[in-house]
Structure 1
């Protein structure tokens, strides 16, 4: 545990400590027989530390919830990598720099079209503070709500668990694991653009996601 983690742990407000304990219980139930309390607590608290020291520090009351969601994703990925739990569904990871625009839009489209037939995650090399409002609005026009998403980093277990890694502008910062399928989608960054300007990006993302689903033999539901 780093000095920074120790300081963060000591500074966690009482209400958030209680929320993290509750989150630990929920995660322990979800991963019963897969991971023990020590592993679950380590992933939960490291996830909390990542948000507390970065983008999510602007919304402290939501930190335990964000940490729980991220820890669940990471534990799910680790269990897949270690062969402890897998359901055979393909997993796609969308990566960009801030995880605030393109990768979040791609995640939303993928989940909307694939439903529960496939799994999608997203991450950024330098996570931003919030999802781009213009991206949220443009996606809302398609009936896809990404307002509840949040910028987050990628982790090794999440990348290793993915069958396909789609990068969008993160360049050399994108993690490379031998033998994994990678795609590089060249798309305009929605940062600073109006909703009108984001619409073509959204539509191109949808076209590419549909093509990817077809390649993965996952029928688009809509």
Structure 2
């Protein structure tokens, strides 16, 4: 059993937004948070523009594989962040849920994806400040 908080990021295809969020959470928490991601209808590969945008930040998400979001993953997570998966995301009492309204990077240029990436980074930074105890 771990005392690390667990955060699950969910979007439809688990190929862009949720992968970028998971990449930032992993990098910025330095291993202090257990990170999961999934999709309601997983795609076949990570969005190459999302990979490029994150690479500009020094974060490699190219080895990620879109995963199906499972009920078990939701139940095992302390915080569940949804990004446009609508009513298909299961809800369990006692969990912290947030729905982040973020544009889908699918089909967008790198110039259109950078603001989405930067918005995700700001949200991850704020979330980390809330879920991790202050390091003295």
Provide the rounded CA distance (Å) in 2 between the counterparts of 1:200 and 1:144: 16
The residue number in structure 2 matching 1:118 is 33
- The answer (yes or no) to whether the contact 1:118–1:218 under 8 Å persists in 2 is no
Structure having the larger proportion of residues in helix: 1
- Structure 1 residues 218 and 197, CA gap change in structure 2 (3 angstroms): farther
Which structure 2 residue ranges, 5 or more long, are not aligned?
none
Which of 99, 111, 120 matches 1:196? Answer: 111
The structure with more strand, counted as a fraction of residues: 2
Q: Which runs of 5+ in 1 are unaligned?
A: 1-85
Matched, 1:165 2:56: no
* Structure with the greater alpha carbon radius of gyration: 1
Instruction: Name the Cα RMSD after superposition.
Output: 1.2
Higher relative contact order (CA 8 A, sep 6+): 2
Instruction: After TM superposition, list the pairs within 5 Å mapping 1:145-160 onto structure 2.
Output: 145-160=60-75
Match of 2:5 among 55, 77, 90: 90
TM-score of the aligned structures, taking structure 2 as reference length: 0.96
**TM-score relative to the length of structure 1:** 0.59
Contact 1:109 1:144 (C-alpha < 8 Å) held by counterparts: yes
CA distance in 2, matches of 1:217, 1:123: 22
